[in-house]
Amino acid sequence: MNPKLRRPLVAGNWKMHGSRGEAGRLVGGLLAGAAGAGAAEVVICPAFVHLADVGRQLAGSPIALGAQDVCAEEPGAHTGEVAAAMLADIGCRYVIVGHSERRALYGEDDALVARKFLAARRHGLVPVLCVGETLAERDGGATAAVVLRQLDAALAAAGAGAFEQAVVAYEPVWAIGTGRTATPEQAQEVHALIRGRIGEKDARISASLRVLYGGSVKAGNALELFSMPDVDGGLIGGASLQAGEFLAICRAAGG
């Protein structure tokens, strides 16, 4: 593995999976194996209803808690939403914003995602900003334009300084849940583009920014992806639901 300036990060996005019992057993399995998880920072992002339980289980462990989404607004009359202040209050450190499933299935646009990014930062949460192109966009040669448009929305709203406490996740939509992973070279090309964009504004922050890859990461392909110079870990969906598989991915990132 290449020596890196940045501590690798592996985040498990459980999506809308898991009963209370299943969540408890999965966390139990992760805690049992966490000592051997290596040097990477590890985060798990359960559904909202499990955050408090999982947070209690993780207390005192090296595994951090994250949420999968956040409301852009401050606490108030927003039925069904969850505020950044609430997530911070129950011990979340990270929150995913702009996941492609939120963009595609729930109509979230770049402007809303940027407002969610800002809400997270206002309350001391580290946003994990997801960007990525669809297959049609890649085939049409629009990958760079799409990824930079998504990144620029948050950059314009929050400024480069906000990325000192933020993470970017490149998740090509065609690789999510499909078993079709980006090649290490495809991932590296886009990761370098993302880092370069931040670097146009602030070289120091760009050098410390962690850019994660997401999309069909498994224990078997993690090492070759994480060995690329600008890939600083992963955002893991399906494989984060199995303790052994997820811990193996964490070990691949931690070197």
Q: For 236, phi and psi rounded to 5 degrees?
A: -110, 125
Find all residues with CB under 8 Å of 82, minimum gap 6, and list them: 48, 67, 69, 70, 71
Which one among 8, 127, 214, 233 touches ligand 13P, defined by CB under 6 A?
A: 214
Given the residues 99, 101, 108, 133, the one annotated as active site: 99
Q: Which two tokens stand for residue 107?
A: 């109509």
Nearer to ligand 13P, 54 or 205 (CB): 54
- In angstroms, give the least distance from the CB of 42 to ligand 13P: 15
Pattern of binders to ligand 13P over 78-107, x per CB under 6 A?
---------------------x--------
Residue 18 sits in the site that holds ligand 13P (CB under 6 A): no
Q: Using CB positions, name the residue nearest to ligand 13P.
A: 237
DSSP collapsed to 3 states, 4-72: CCCCCEEEEECCCCCCHHHHHHHHHHHHHHHHHCCCCEEEEECCHHHHHHHHHHHCCCCEEEEECCCCC
| Strand, coil or helix: 201 | helix
Span near ligand 13P by CB under 6 A; candidates 74-82, 140-148, 185-193, 208-216: 208-216
Q: What x-and-dash track marks residues 40-79 binding ligand 13P by CB under 6 A?
A: ----------------------------------------
Q: Which of 8, 18, 215, 233 binds ligand 13P (CB under 6 A)?
A: 215
Please tell me whether residue 238 binds ligand 13P under the rule CB under 6 A. yes
Spatial contact of 193 and 152, defined as CB atoms under 8 Å apart? no
Exposed e or buried b for every residue in 227-253, given b needs 16+ CB within 10 A?
ebebbbbbbbbbbbbebebbbbbbbbb
- Of 150 and 216, nearer to ligand 13P (C-beta) is 216
By CB under 6 A, the count of residues binding ligand 13P is 14
17 catalytic? Reply is no
What is the spatial distance between Cα 199 and Cα 203, in angstroms, rounded to a whole number?
Answer: 4
Site string for ligand 13P, 129-168 (x = CB under 6 A): ----------------------------------------
In angstroms, rounded to a whole number, what is the distance separating the alpha carbons of residues 186 and 2?
Answer: 18
Q: Looking at 9, 13, 231, 247, which residue binds ligand 13P (CB under 6 A)? A: 13
Q: How far is the CB of 161 from ligand 13P (least distance, A)?
A: 26
Is 186 a binding residue for ligand 13P by CB under 6 A? The answer is no
Nearer to ligand 13P, 160 or 239 (CB): 239
Beta-strand relationship, 233-236 and 9-13:
parallel
Residues 6 or more apart in contact with residue 189 via CB below 8 angstroms: none
Which residues bind to ligand 13P, rule: CB under 6 A?
13, 99, 171, 176-177, 214-217, 235-239
List residues with catalytic annotation. 99, 171
